[in-house]
Chain A
Amino acid sequence: MTTLSLDQRRGRQRLLRDLTARDPRHMIARGLLIGDTVAGISFALGLAGGVAAIATGGRVWTWLLLALAAGIARGSLATLSQRIGSDLAADAKIALRTRVTAAAINQSVGGARTSGELACTIVDEVEAVDGHIARFAPIRTAATLSPLIVLAAVALASPVSALILIGTLAPLIAALILAGGAAAERSRQQFGALARLSGLFSDRLRALPLLLAYRATDRERVRLGQAADEVAVRTMGVLRVAFLSAGALEFFAALSVALVAVYAGFNVLGLLPFTPPEQLDLFRAFLVLALAPEFYLPFRRLASAYHDKQAAETAADRLLALEADAEPVRPLEVHSAPALAFDQVSLRHGSADADAVSALSFHVEPGETVALLGASGSGKSSLLGALVGTVPVREGTIRIDGRALESGLAVAGSAAWAGQAPLLVPGTIADNIALACPCSPREAVADAAEAAGLAELLRCRAQGLDSLLDGRGSGLSGGERRRIGLARALLSEAPLLLLDEPTAHLDAEAEAGLTTAILHACRGRTAIIATHSETLAAQADRIIRLERRYEAA
């Protein structure tokens, strides 16, 4: 795995930090974990007092009550911290998803990522930051403060024991600094190796049609098996080393308990080979013994949450890459039906070798309805995409009312769009129509629905415009969905209307019905209809036939 640049590392740290920076709960979650340490100290105090009281015949119950109260406090604090952490993570994920979705919508079509990958990023990569926010980040803060608090408590009881703890911590830190870089690198490699195996498996499943068609599934199974074994063996090699750093932690944690126990034992016996600066009694000796595991507890919690950190960092890298690739567009404001001029325009998708449209010129008058007619692959949709900024212009100029549509500019915002699959969101039919401009008055929505030919649908539904739709738009026919999209376009007062295959996959009758509504929507605007339907195109003011691009020379 390549080593990350400093900028990359900073970038992802900033991303993860900013997710919760403004939310006071992240401080509360951290504070509660530190409170958990204080309660842990009180618990040790209670036990030590109880044991000492048994030895001296003192009052045991007071100490037991202290231990009980501390134990209950401890559980409550840790539980509360976890709950707050997970609530915090839930909110942060929603905010992050909103942010990432905007970046995903701003990717150019045919770019580096398929829409499946984008969906995966929006859903799964965002989910992957959960553990970092809910667990790792609070634990990391606690891991820097809690050991110091424990150390202070130990020092009050027995300064020498505190020195012993520091003495075991120092080599641990040295070991982590010396081996830690290597161990972290190893652990990253292991994460990478598992991800690769997982990737190989999903890749072979994705390619299943191909492998089935060539009867190659048996061979691939064998190869997959070999690869899986190989990764398992290699991963073990990595893990043997990675576990060493966990082993170092374990070793020093165990050693600190043993050393403190032996020192305190010999101290109370008075058999130390040197004169100790302090004389311990059973209470203090037992207290430092009970506190020794507490000293290493935050480090062990941190180690167990390390996986969360790695998963979140991997996800953060991908999210940042997605945001870096987003190409947000500035809107070119248009107020009345514009004139469009395409001058020698060539369009090309991200990874394509050839132009989707090459050297195309045409002109659209203000208020004119133009049908772009051509077979699929002739670049109709790409032309619409160029206007809203999803497809980059490679050469030539598009002018809107004489203003050039430069790179980074688009008419999105001044245009209405109606395609084959309008977006349907959970809510009423009215909500869905008003998606274009949510503050439209009710009458305007009703008018738009009427004009789009939704009257019949609304009559059939008891609640009319207030009928609920689920996100799938269940129960709507293909024609009805498109009418909702059209109503949306009608409602929006955008002076430019773009229609992408508005009648595709409809039978002749449905197409005829929809055509009337489409023409109504085009009135008073400049409209471009991309279609391969001669029937629909015939209704436009003018037809521009896109030649098949590749008349092989």
Chain B
Amino acid sequence: MKLRELILHESARHRASGRRAALLGGVVGLASVLLLGLSGWFLAAAALAGAAGSAVALGFNYMLPSAAIRLLAIARTGARYGEAVFSHDAGLRIGARLRPALFAATAAAPVRQALAVARGSMLRVVMDDVARIETALVRRSAQWNAAGAAVSGVAMVALAGVPAAAVLVALLAATILANEALARRTRRSEARRDEALAELRLAADELLAAAPELRCYRHADAGQFLERPGRALALAGREAARARALAVMIQAGCMTLAAIAVLALSRGGPAPTAALATLAAAMATDGLAPLLRQIAERFSTRDSANRLDQLLAHEQQDMLPVVIGRPTLDLLGVHLKPGDRLQLEGQSGVGKTTLIEHLIGLRSPVAGRAKVAGVDVVFLRSEQLRSTFAWQPQDAAALSGTVRDNLLIARAGACDRALWQALHDAALDELVRALPHGLDSWIGEDGARLSGGERRRLAVARALVADAPWLLLDEPIEGLDPATAQLLLERLERRLCRTGQGLVVVSHRPLSCITRCRSVVVPQRCAAIEITHQPQPAACSLQPK
């Protein structure tokens, strides 16, 4: 679904709020212009009547205009409040549907693209884009605001004569057109700014990776290496800032010209009308401000929308039932029966983790490395692979949420007993029991409230909760102290004997308690194969058709 369709569809659901916001926005514009115009007319008329003597003054109908002025003041306040509430209500509700839709679309994207969003600097870009769209959504009533001001302004100025009204229309149009032109001209510099920002992010990543080297050579002024990309960003940003400043100038200029021209053109008529028309003309140009802001942001909003559209283009496929049972596994030429155990060894960098990620369908498959149930993984759908394996990632990633949230990822609806059993077998039960809310304790963003070892055990426990025939554990005891590692391995062994699950484990450390565990050294060429295959967009073949 395209972003535009999504927004249209959701706007329809929140049509009432959207309409109210638009209506009240119009009222705000209208009331602002009327309030000042009418006040001007009232003053001038009252002054003339006062000058003509007390008889005329007494005959002057002051009640109606002064009541109208007070009414308008209240109407403007109320309408502005209502506009803000309804436009945010509609905008936020529509925006709330955007994130889940984007998440689903990203998850449905080819795995390489999906993980590029999850792991790379693209995440930041997506977040910025969503924020930009959300801002645009809550400001959608701005045009009605401007329309209300313009229509009422022109109508009031028309009282001073058609030429005055024509001049105002021309100046309003000129303001809008000038801002349009400015926005178009700034578009390229906004794009340059985005590029400069991406460049600076890369430079910062590289600088931080070289922290020890910098410490040795000149760590005190390491920041100077970011000065060049920082200045490039500032330079790109300056153009956009100058355009914003120029927009201020244009608006102020048009407001001045409108007020003066209307006053000059109405100088032949009665003073009250001139006062009314002059103030109305000034307020009408002033009332364009929200629209002008929208125009200034139009292109960056559109660019964001286009980027999000590319993500939203991926649609979720219907999941076919996955029946594989308890398959055999062939890995690097080793045949494993259901329930067998295998340790993958090899130097770091040879591609052990890569191999694991092939099995779980997080990388484009490579032929000839692994078979499930006798079938090369190249011919299996990622769904089938993912239901065959329960995976503990090397980085022990966690969701920000509770312990329970983190475990239920593996099997929705698993009962508490199963969760506690898994925590026990991962040697984490005592810790979780000691937490203030047990399973429902919050563990922070990416498990930040847990130590490295606790997070790792939580990731193992998660893999144990899943009912998959094979466990894929990537460095399950890395960073654990010897006693805890021993305990975890003992319990894992007992669990494997009980469930009959198979085990494929990557570990630099000997797995003392795991019996019947064969081992295979991952050859150097694994990494090489991965690199040569990387540029091919073969990921699509994994998607069920």
Contact = CB atoms under 8 A, between A and B. Distances in A.
Q: Do A and B bind each other?
A: yes
A247 B80 contact: yes
B486 A553 contact: yes
A469 to B, nearest CB: 13
Contacts, number: 499
A265 B43 contact: yes
B412 A353 contact: no
A76 B117 CA distance: 44
B426 interface: no
Contact of B224 (A98, A262, A264, A290): A98
Contacts of A532: 347-348
Interface string B321-364: 00000000000000000000000000111000000010011100
B267 A203 contact: no
Contacts of A384: 212
A404 interface: no
A97 B452 contact: no
B43 A264 contact: yes
B400 A94 contact: no
Interface string A151-164: 00000000000000
Given A71-B252, A250-B77, A353-B484, A236 B47 contact: no
B453 A68 contact: no
B263 A51 contact: yes
Nearest to B31: A254
Dominant secondary structure of chain B at its interface with chain A: helix
Interface stretch (B94-102, B302-310, B492-500): B94-102
B103 A216 contact: no
25 contacts: A47-B263, A60-B264, A64-B264, A78-B252, A79-B252, A87-B238, A101-B222, A110-B452, A112-B448, A115-B209, A118-B204, A198-B127, A209-B357, A212-B382, A235-B92, A236-B85, A254-B72, A262-B69, A268-B50, A271-B62, A375-B347, A417-B217, A425-B225, A471-B199, A550-B485
Interface centre among A51, A209, A352, A375 (most CB of B within 10 A): A51
Interface stretch (B228-236, B372-380, B415-423): B228-236
Interface string A352-383: 11100000000000000000000111000000
A550 B477 contact: yes
Contacts of B208: 104-105, 115, 118-119, 122
Contact of A221 (B66, B85, B103): B103
Interface string A195-212: 001111111111111111
A422 to B, nearest CB: 6
B118 A228 contact: no
A82 B245 contact: yes
A204 B480 contact: no
A524 interface: no
Given A225-B97, A504-B349, A239 B85 contact: yes
A269 B57 contact: yes
B482 A553 contact: yes
Interface in B201-251: 201-231, 234, 237-238, 241-242, 244-246, 248-249, 251
Contacts of A390: 211-212, 215
Interface in B401-453: 409-412, 445-446, 448, 451-453
B13 to A, nearest CB: 12
A435 interface: yes
B188 interface: no
Given A210-B393, A250-B77, A268 B252 contact: no
Given A54-B267, A93-B234, A352-B479, A254 B57 contact: no
B212 A500 contact: yes
A289 B40 contact: yes
B312 to A, nearest CB: 13
Interface string A394-413: 00000000000000001011
Interface string B114-130: 11011100011011001
Contacts of A86: 237-238, 241-242, 244-245
B412 A216 contact: yes
Interface in A69-90: 70-72, 74-76, 78-80, 82-83, 86-87, 90
Contacts of A329: 215
Interface in B469-506: 477-486, 489
A549 to B, nearest CB: 8
Contacts of B360: 213
Interface stretch (A279-287, A316-324, A445-453): A279-287
Given A51-B275, A203-B446, 7 more contacts: A102-B219, A102-B222, A258-B70, A264-B43, A269-B46, A423-B213, A549-B509
A285 B248 contact: no
A269 B84 contact: no
A551 B397 CA distance: 26
Contact of B89 (A52, A105, A219, A236): A236
B279 interface: yes
Interface in A462-512: 471-472, 485, 488, 492, 494, 498, 500, 504-505
B111 interface: yes
A240 interface: yes
Contacts of B398: 207
A71 B39 contact: no
Contacts of B371: none
Contacts of A51: 40, 44, 263, 271, 274-275, 278
Contacts of A229: 93, 96
Contacts of B81: 243-244, 246-247, 250
A258 B219 contact: no
B118 A208 contact: yes
Contacts of A87: 238, 241
B249 A76 contact: yes
Contacts of B485: 550, 552
Nearest to A87: B238
Interface residues of A, number: 166
Interface in A247-272: 247, 250-251, 254-255, 257-258, 260-262, 264-266, 268-271
A72 B253 contact: yes
Nearest to B466: A214
A247 B219 CA distance: 51
A419 interface: yes
B534 interface: no
A225 B96 contact: yes
A93 B200 CA distance: 13
A286 B40 contact: yes
Contacts of B237: 86, 90, 130
A384 B215 CA distance: 12
A518 interface: no
B140 to A, nearest CB: 16
B399 A550 contact: no
A112 B451 CA distance: 10
A220 interface: yes
B84 A228 contact: no
B454 interface: yes
Interface string B64-90: 011001101110110011001100110
A310 interface: no
B361 A212 contact: yes
Contact of A209 (B244, B397, B466): B397
Contact of A71 (B131, B257, B412, B453): B257
Given A120-B124, A552-B512, A54 B40 contact: no
Contacts of A280: 47
Interface centre among A101, A377, A425 (most CB of B within 10 A): A101
A303 to B, nearest CB: 11
Contacts of A246: 80-81, 84
B379 to A, nearest CB: 19
B47 A282 contact: yes
B57 A270 contact: yes
B54 interface: yes
Contacts of B72: 254, 258
Interface centre among A68, A231, A289 (most CB of B within 10 A): A289
Which 5 interchain pairs have the tightest Cβ spacing? Answer: A71-B256, A98-B223, A75-B252, A55-B271, A86-B241
